[in-house]
Homo-oligomer: A and B are copies of this chain.
Amino acid sequence: MVDTAPSEPQERPRRSDATRAAILDAARDRFAADGYERATIRAIAKDADIDPSMVMRYYGNKAGLFAAASEIDLRLPDLAAVPRDRLGEQLIRHFLDRWEGDETLTGMVRVAVTNEAGAERLRDVFTEQIRPALAAICPAPEELDSRAALIGSQLVGMGLLRYILILPPAAALPREEVVAWLAPTLQRYLTAEHP
């Protein structure tokens, strides 16, 4: 126990914060690069330049470490502020940035595919971030789930082929070409009438 007040979890800076952060950083990298099984605690500890037992002390076990390391923020913009006819374009541009910016997204998918906790986390991201963001502009509320799923399918599909499987024809596609092709698709999934 560290808390001084029981009701307020007042977090005072600990001397070990740097170590904790180093572990978390290394864990994120390893999980993203190798997936859950092959990202071993020993490898993570080595990257962080500490002893494997520290990982256990601070995060309990491997599952706890993953839970702590897999907090994701898609940083979705406020779509209500985007011109209605450019929503698709904005969406695909934002996600290309997120896929390419760091290994957060690739890592999340890599883990989610073979690990139930990872899949759960990805489902959380959907309901807590994607759904609300789209709710602001979705025409009919009862269609929100369907439309969000459709949009997600196209976005994650291109990400998978381009950045994880690195399928040459997908990876070689120029960014602007991806935007030109996918933007109308997303725009339709988001704003078109139910077919």
List A residues at the B interface (Cβ < 8 Å).
34-35, 37-38, 109-110, 112-114, 119, 122-123, 126, 145-146, 148-150, 152-158, 160-162, 164-170, 172-173, 177, 180-182, 184-185, 188-189, 194-195
Contacts and interface: CB of A to CB of B under 8 A. Distances in A.
Contacts of A153: 154, 157-158, 160-162, 170
A40 to B, nearest CB: 11
Nearest to A131: B169
Overall SS of chain A's interface: helix
- 6 A-B pairs with the lowest CB-CB distances in the bound complex, closest first: A157-B157, A145-B169, A35-B114, A37-B37, A149-B170, A149-B169
How many copies, total?
2
